Amino acid sequence: MKLKCYAIDDEPLALELISDNAKRIDFLDYVGGNTSATKGLDFLLNNKVDLLFLDIQMPKLTGVELARQIPESTLVIFTTAYDEYAVTGFELNAVDYVLKPIDFFRFEKACNKSLEVAEWRLGKEKEKYIFINAEHTLVRILLYDVLYIEGLKDYVKIFLIPPHLTSKISLLPM
């Protein structure tokens, strides 16, 4: 799995370091970066990016304000010199919070976390499920949610929350 990543940092040297580090990690596809938060936001709203490296203290638009405007599907790693925004970063569901100066091994650890989250999300999208007829309605049940199934003559009782009683189970291709 490759993650398309982008960086926004108003410091050109920091942006260059993030770019260089990202290019050293084989599962990252670095698609660019910007020193302007507003131009970076425009890029994010018009292009699909899996992972964003984001500074917090920037003129015009802070990283926190920007993070509130991007698609929820975009994973965020804050890369900043300011540790006092860490709680806010995690309230925004940031994957990680890396302090400057950025050490490559710390950067790599944050990227590995991002890959794990992305793979987990992909797995959730591809979860296996079944459809059952329950009270004349087609109900989708994730197999992960099934505790056990009990056979009752012409019916099947599926134990989950809430339980469903059905006479037919229709498996659909995934």
Q: What is the CATH number of domain 3-125?
A: 3.40.50.2300
Radius of gyration of the CA atoms of the chain, in A: 22
Percent of the chain surpassing pLDDT 90: 59
Residue pLDDT, tens place only, 46-57 = 999 999 999 999
Residue 103 DSSP one-character state = P
Contact assessment for residue 56 and residue 62, using Cβ atoms and an 8 Å cutoff = yes
Domain positions in the chain: 3-125, 129-170
State the Cα–Cα distance between residues 111 and 113, nearest whole angstrom.
5
Q: Between β-strands 164-166 and 155-159, what pairing exists: parallel, antiparallel or unpaired? A: antiparallel
Residue pLDDT, tens place only, 72-105 = 899 999 999 988 988 888 888 899 999 999 999 9
Instruction: Say whether 24 sits in a helix, a strand or coil.
Output: coil
Contact assessment for residue 47 and residue 63, using Cβ atoms and an 8 Å cutoff = no
* Cα of 50 vs its chain's centroid, Å: 7
C-alpha distances in Å from residue 150, one per residue of 128, 130, 153: 20, 16, 10
Residue pLDDT, tens place only, 115-145 = 999 988 877 666 677 777 777 777 777 776 7
pTM of the model: 0.72
Mean of the per-residue pLDDT values of the chain:
88
Residue pLDDT, tens place only, 33-43 = 999 999 999 99
